[in-house]
Amino acid sequence: DRRITRVKELIKDYPDFPKPGILFRDIFPVLQDAKAFRGLVDAMVDFIKANCDGVEVIIGLDSRGFLFGPMIAEALGISFVPIRKAGKLPGETYKVEYTLEYGTDKCEMQKESVKPGQKIVILDDLLATGGTMKAACDLADVAQATVLCCVVVIELTDLQGRKRLKYPCHAFIQY
Ligand code: 5GP
C-alpha cells in the first residue's frame, strides 16, 4: 500500500527519547503532511471496513489514539469513545490499573459510553510492550463490549506486546 509506504517515510526516529536506550518513533511528521495523513486515515478506514464487520464504536487511547480515532469513527458513521488516564473523565467511569516498566498507571472509560455487547475496535498509534492496549482490552471486558480488533499504526515487534492481547491485533507498520 503506497499510502503506508509514505507514512513510513515520514515517521522520524529519536534515539534516547524520552529515556536513554529508547528509540522513539514520532508520528507527528505524518500529520504535518495533509495528503499523507489523509492516506493513513483512509487506509485505517479501509482495513476496518474489510475486517471488522458490524463495528459500532471506535475506542481511542490517550493521547495519540485521539488523533486518528474521531476521524475514522466519523468516516464510518459510528461512535467515538476515549479511554483516558485516570482523573480526566467526568461522571461514572470504569477503571483499570496496569503495570508500567516502573510502577503502575490507571485508565478509565465513561460508563454508558459503550453498551454491553456492542462491537468495538480499539485504536492507538503504537504497540510497544502492550501494557496500554491490554489495559484497554480489560476495560472493554469490564464494559462487556465485544472487541473485534485492536488496531495500531506501528508495532515494535521485539517487545512482543501482541502476546499479551487476547484479541486480534493489526499493525500497518512493524519495526
Ligand atoms: P506500551 O504500553 O505498549 O508499552 O506502550 C504503548 C503506548 O506508549 C502507546 O500509547 C504509545 O502512544 C506510547 N509509546 C511508546 N513508545 C512510543 C514510541 O516510540 N512512539 C510513539 N509515538 N508512542 C510511543
CB of 129 sitting under 6 A from ligand 1: yes
CB of 162 sitting under 6 A from ligand 1: no
**What ranges do the domains of the chain cover?**
2-174
Q: Specify whether 101 is catalytic.
A: yes
- Enumerate residues 6+ apart whose C-beta is below 8 A from 98: 104, 105, 106, 107, 131, 132, 134, 135, 138
This complex has an ipTM of 0.98
* For range 147-153, the mean pLDDT: 98
| Measured distance CA(23)–CA(17) in Å, rounded | 6
- pLDDT for res 100: 82
Ligand 1 geometric centre to CA of 161 (Å): 11
CATH of domain 2-174: 3.40.50.2020
- pLDDT for res 102: 80
Q: pLDDT digits over 89-135, tens only?
A: 999 999 999 988 788 999 999 999 999 999 999 999 999 999 999 99
Band of residue 47 on the pLDDT scale cut at 50, 70, 90: very high
| pLDDT greater than 80 at residue 24 | yes
